[in-house]
Amino acid sequence: MQEFALLCQIFFTVAIGRQVGGLWKPASAYTFNRGRFHNLVFGLRGLLWLVAAVFAWGHPFGVIPLVLWLLLMAFGAFIWRRPNWLEVSNQLLIVVDLVLLSIAISMTGGIHSPVYLLYGGEALFLTVYGTLRYSSAGALAVILAYGFSTGAWDLKIFWWRMAIMAIYLFAAGGLGREYRLTRYRNRENYQKLDQISRLKVLQESIMQEQDINIVLMRLLEESRSMSRADAAYLVRVDAQRRISGFTIQGVATPELTIEPPEHVPSSLEILTPAEEAWNAWPLHHYLYELGMRSLILVPLHYEESFYGWMGLSFVSPEVNDTQSFIVQNLADVMSMQLRFDESQSVASKRGQLLAILERMGRIVNRNLEMEQLFRSLRKAVADVLENDSFFVALTLPDDPAHCLMQYLWDDGEEYPPEIFPVEPNGLTGSVIISGKPSLINGRKQVGTLTGSYKEPLGMLVVPLIHEGRVLGAMSVQSYRIEYDPDHLEFLSAIASQASIAIRNAQMYQQTQEIALTDYLTGLGNSRRFNLVVQSAVEMAEETGQPLSLLLIDSDSLKSINDRFGHRAGDLHLQRVAQVIRENIREDDVACRYAGDEFVVVLPKSHLDDALQVGERIRHEIETHQFEWSDTLILGSTISVGAAQFQAGMTVDALFQAADRAMYNAKQGGKNRVAAAR
């Protein structure tokens, strides 16, 4: 009988050992073998109970173990296909095993019964279900159970058997610990392999998606699913680390203003509510109120670029390594997608910039008129950069303390040029002085408002630099959006091309001024007069506004030339020009027509007004004196003819009318003003 019990013990050991060996197969077979193992342990327990019943059969109460065995088989039939129930039942029944075996030992001879060898089965069960601590408790329980069932506390054989059994149980506990660690690592490796496989499939699928927002939402959802998180959120930031996007899954979107927290993760972090970094941000406090008790934070970055961070919260207060592994891998995928999207965005911006620079090249070659140039610049910028206001301010070569706001388009309307002081503390002035671009966001008072007098939300001001010289500044402003460094870089690139166009236009304007200016007096020449009077006549014809013309002829030039020489005569003409310039309005145009003849175009002036202007000029020249070679020259005079435009008149008719009036002044004794009648 003792040999039979020993054979049963060997069979139990081999059966369980083989099944445990089966558990150490590749991870792909793990779930199936685990279920079979619990079935095997329960079946071996049934065999152990049957052997004990067989040994106790000859005892008057031997039917009790058999009845218990039948009940066990009935219970096993109920839970056979329920692995979780089997696992719990196999652990709880270890105590019942000890009681049953102790009863069988007591029925079959006590200390002389071979049934004690079946205690080895309990050691095998503890191998896979009990820790080393439980194995120690099991050894103590076996000693007590065997002692009470035999009453052989004073026999050496009892203690020898218990010592061997204790060693066996301790060894089983150690083996069980290593087995469970291996089983845990096997499960963890399987999960990681499964997650990596899912990540590979996910990454291949999102490569087909063009919208980065959809990609990020899918990755966030997958992060929550794979890590079994109860909630997940994603925060995106711009280049200045300001929050540019926020989304949350698993819980309702909080009615909070999401502001950047003081603590931003630089590597994967696991937080609990007890840590300051959790409570320092309102969003985390909101998650705590919803029952979250642990949080994984992981940054989204690639090399030096930081795109934001992802947070996954759990109701469970503990986070395992597998969850951290999953989150980190998905964060890496997110970072790669954001980097790819950033590269595409940069490439797109570069393409846009090249296109606009090509267009700028055409603008440079086609526009030499300053006003038309500025309109073309504004339209080119508006095609790719949203704005509500655009201006170009140019420096004044003869007045560095001021600048000319030569072109201003604001809120859909163009405004006339204005002169402003170049203030070091002002935005435009500081850019002109430093030669460095500036970006300002937020409604801040950084200079003098003009145009529509609205305060912009976003402002870009860049210098216009040509061959190292600051020509002025160009600005784009918005009342609705804020700008970023990419916008500033874009506008700076446009400004570098615009500087060439503006300098070309300035040189063309200077050339035109030279071609239309009398070199001696600085007044317009006859070509300028022809252009101005033609435009003035057309305007008067269209609007019905008055227009007058003065024709001025020097009475003294010939006598001065004859007496003092032509250089003195030139000085006399310069004095006449100066007097004319000082006695006309800003809108009036004075020209030296030929020799000693001058003309003055007087827009919006009636004949009486023209006569008054002519009289002032005549009187001042008559009383004016100048010194030439220590000789005081007095009494210079002029004769003036005045004419007013009449409907239907041509330029020649107006000029001839003024010429006849001037001739009448000459004939009337000179030094007088005559009107055409």
Token output for 462: 């860049």
Tokens 């500033």 correspond to what residue? Answer: 488
Task: Give backbone dihedrals phi and psi of 636, rounded to 5 degrees, phi first.
Answer: -70, 145
Judge whether 248 and 233 are in contact, CB under 8 Å. yes
Dist CA 341 CA 359 (whole Å):
27
Active site residue 398: no
Tokens 């610049």 correspond to what residue? Answer: 377
Residue 176: which H helix or E strand, with range? helix 156-206
Tokens 């998606």 correspond to what residue? Answer: 209
CA 369 to centroid of chain Cα atoms: 39
Q: What is the largest CA-CA distance in the chain?
A: 168
Cβ neighbourhood burial of 499 (10 Å; 0-12, 13-18, 19+): buried
Token output for 552: 């001025």
Token output for 17: 């050992």
**Which is the catalytic residue, given 596, 609, 630, 652?**
596
Judge whether 51 and 8 are in contact, CB under 8 Å. yes
Judge whether 300 and 335 are in contact, CB under 8 Å. yes
From 552, 674, 548, select the one nearest 621 (Cα to Cα).
552
Tokens 């339209």 correspond to what residue? Answer: 379
Tokens 């964060």 correspond to what residue? Answer: 331
From 384, 382, 377, 376, select the one nearest 355 (Cα to Cα).
384
How would DSSP label each residue in 332-348? HHHHHHHHHHHHHHHHH
Dist CA 617 CA 244 (whole Å):
68
Positions marked active-site: 596
